[in-house]
Amino acid sequence: MKKLTLLAILLLTSALTYAGGYRISLQGQKQLAMGHTGVAVINSSELVFFNPAGLTFLNEKFTVSAGANAVFANISFQNEQYGWYTEADNPVSTPFNVYAAYKINDWASVGLGIYTPYGSGVEYPTDWEGSHLINDISLRAIFIQPTLSIKINDKVSIGGGPIFATGAVNFNRNIDRTTTNTEGERANVTIDQSGITAWGYNLGLMVRPTEKFTLGINYRSEIQMDAEDGEADFQNMPNGLNIDGKYDNVTFDATLPLPAELTVGASYAINEKWLVAFDYNRAYWNAYEALDVIFSNGEESINPRNYKNASTYRFGVQYKATNRFTLRGGYYFDESPVQSGYFAPETPRNDSNNFTGGFSFKISERFALDASFLYIHFDEVDESYDYYKDPTGTQFSSFGGTYKNNAFVPGLGITYGF
């Protein structure tokens, strides 16, 4: 019984680390099209996310931007030594964002953002070779961020506000590599928790030495996501292992840190038509060393992740072709926080090259249509997860192979302002 509890603990850890290992950078159609730059770009109310200090520099008194993306992801796993090959059946996810900004007067603005920085899913075939680590996962998270921006003078502005995070996770995997019930069905468990909430904050600074040159800095705090009294549903358990209902009506508590992020950048208007931008983002993943997990049956475990800090380098360009039509393009290189030996099938991400593009078309004086696309190519990686406890519970064992994955992400939005 103890060995099954330890395996279940590892299962929970894998479920929650999906949020930590997979960051969705889709926080605005305009800025995504420009390589997801934006900390020093004054385009729209998307600044609520990218740098709230910039709201006071917007020309419009009131502006709203709303959009959504569709994530089409492909993941394949291969181990030539054992002749394994599996492709994940990834459901299409649709992260969204809504931002609004209102200029109270010449030196003060307020804003509100509602967006999904985490939210996706992976489904592997039932009982595949890595089913002792994952069968499927669904993650949903929404951030709500009110913002205040104050202009110190004509060249300097500050901004910030609290972040309220709410989310849910559902995850399933087999208990181990072999255990079945009398009908031969693999024993498995589903971890489910909704209504997880937490608080953080966001701070920004924007400086405009000239009308053409803008500097920006933005900091988002670490957020601790506490899952309390979540449900652990064990299925197809052999009767001989569930003595005294050890695995009936089990709940769990766990805490997951979402890392702090610091972004600095600059933009430069070459002329009335051309704008270029660069952002550097540093995510402090070293906060994610392990998860302490406590089950209602009194047992607990620590599962190592040992993530490292990671950087993202973003480049973007904007071309105003006409008064109604604006083109955008960009590129960013995203480092993976996952270290060697910690590659699990639910987060098989490696360093990635990301190519973006898009446009805005003014339908009228107040309305504009915004479109973007993103292609993500993760570097092929031959790696393993080395911290799965074997059935004896006395030593770790590995599961690994070659992972290939990419994603195509189109997006559509609308902007309103006056």
Q: Record the tokens describing residue 410, joined without a space.
A: 């189109």
Look up residue 246 and give its amino acid.
Answer: K
Q: Going from the N-terminus, what domains does the chain have, and what CATH number goes with each?
A: 2-417 (2.40.160.60)
| Tokens found for residue 187 | 């024993």
Smallest Cα–Cα separation from 330: which of 34, 120, 10? 34
Per-residue pLDDT of the chain (418 residues; tens, 9 = 90+): 444 444 433 333 333 333 334 577 889 999 999 999 999 999 999 999 999 999 999 999 999 999 999 988 888 889 988 899 998 877 778 889 999 999 999 999 999 999 988 665 788 888 899 888 888 887 777 899 999 999 999 999 999 999 999 988 788 888 888 889 988 899 888 888 888 899 999 999 999 999 999 999 999 999 988 888 888 888 898 888 878 788 888 888 877 788 899 999 999 999 999 999 999 999 999 988 876 667 787 666 567 788 999 999 999 999 999 999 999 999 999 999 999 988 878 776 789 999 999 999 999 999 999 999 999 999 888 899 888 876 556 667 788 999 888 889 999 999 999 9
Q: Which pTM value belongs to this model?
A: 0.89
Neighbours of 286 (CB within 10 A): 14
Per-position DSSP letters for 181-202, written without gaps between them = -TT-PBPEEEEEEEEEEEEEEE
Give Rg (Cα) of the chain.
23
Report how far residue 49's alpha carbon sits from residue 327's, in angstroms, rounded to the nearest whole number: 22
Please name the residues in contact with 200: beta carbons below 8 A apart, sequence gap of 6 or more.
162, 163, 165, 220, 221, 222, 223, 258
Residue 323 belongs to what H/E stretch? Answer: none
User: CA 177 to CA 188: how far, in whole Å?
Assistant: 10
